[in-house]
Amino acid sequence: MTSAHTIVFDLDGTLVDTAPDLITALNYVLDREGLPPVPMASARNMIGAGARKLIERGLEAEGRAVTPADMDRMTADFIAYYADHIAVESRPFEGLEAALDHFSEQGHRLAVCTNKLEWLSKRLLDQLDLSRRFAAICGADTFGVQKPDPTIFRETVARAGGAVKASIMVGDAGTDVGVARRAGVPVIGVSFGYTDVPIAELKPDRLIHHMRDLPAAASSLMSP
């Protein structure tokens, strides 16, 4: 029997397929600027570094640059729209809840460590009835740092009541692999998320293609 671990999840592209609602919000902002929408397929890999970066990438796709003041306004518009439409089409990835059940039954702690704002993360997870499953839900504004800064990971684990030496990161992108490496913990990559660099190229300790494979992958990384 392995000791209790803390399984720390990224949110967008790892726990939940949030792309439809995020890209809808992005295109709402672009439309207000008189710009054409970004196609869903190409926009998925723009996600993962927060709202401001998503808008910047959307503008770059159209060869546009804006002033810092305009970017502040557009980011505020994005967040306001997104908050009101946060779970229209967003859904947990298939097999997620069964994996979470398995970890809980084994006595492991669960936490969320995301570069999404904390209040938006909690609103999304509340609407999907997932918040109750996590001992901590921490975002880019919770501790004043973002992934891959290891502080956000360490503080998330502490808030969940766990120990860093007995924790595992699960994510879909370079920031997740980076935060795990900096925190000195193993990382499981998921291949179905959002990343401009294929997760396999970032060499996570384990790579899964479906949430059904997560319990076995995590178990293989746990020490007794």
Reported as a pLDDT band with limits 50, 70 and 90, residue 209 is very high
Asked if pLDDT for residue 44 goes beyond 90, the answer is no
Give tens-digit pLDDT for 150-159.
999 999 999 9
Summary mean pLDDT of the chain: 94
- Written as six digits, the tokens of 161 are 């009541």
The answer to whether 70 is annotated as binding is no
Query: In this predicted model, which residue has the larger pLDDT, 54 or 161?
Result: 161
Considering Cα of 208, then 147, then 129, then 101, what sign does the dihedral take?
positive
Question: Which pLDDT value is given to residue 43?
Answer: 82
Average pLDDT over residues 158-182: 97
Question: Which pLDDT value is given to residue 145?
Answer: 96
Active-site residue numbers?
10
Give tens-digit pLDDT for 99-142.
999 999 999 999 999 999 999 999 999 999 999 999 999 999 99
| Residue 7 phi, psi dihedral angles, 5° rounding | -100, 115
Contact 176, 158 (CB under 8 A): no
Q: Give CA torsion, residues 167, 184, 52, 72, to 10 deg.
A: 100
Helix (H, G, I), strand (E, B) or coil at 111: strand
The answer to whether 101 is annotated as binding is no
118 alpha carbon, distance to own chain's centre: 11
The answer to whether 10 is annotated as binding is yes
Contact 51, 26 (CB under 8 A): no
Give tens-digit pLDDT for 89-109.
999 999 999 999 999 999 999
Residue extents of the structural domains in the chain: 6-17+91-220, 18-85
Asked if pLDDT for residue 2 goes beyond 80, the answer is no
Question: Which pLDDT value is given to residue 102?
Answer: 97
According to CATH, the topology of domain 6-17+91-220 is: Rossmann fold (3.40.50)
Reported as a pLDDT band with limits 50, 70 and 90, residue 223 is confident
Q: Give DSSP secondary structure letters for 144-194.
A: S--TTSHHHHHHHHHHTT--GGGEEEEESSHHHHHHHHHHT--EEEETTS-
105: CB partners within 8 A, 6+ apart: none
CA neighbor of 107 nearest in space, from 152, 161, 159: 161
For the chain, what percent of residues have pLDDT higher than 90?
80
Query: In this predicted model, which residue has the larger pLDDT, 80 or 44?
Result: 80
The second-level CATH assignment, the architecture, of 18-85 is Orthogonal Bundle (1.10)
State how far the Cα of 163 lies from the Cα of 74, in Å rounded to an integer. Answer: 39
Question: Which pLDDT value is given to residue 130?
Answer: 98
Full-model pTM: 0.93
Asked if pLDDT for residue 166 goes beyond 60, the answer is yes
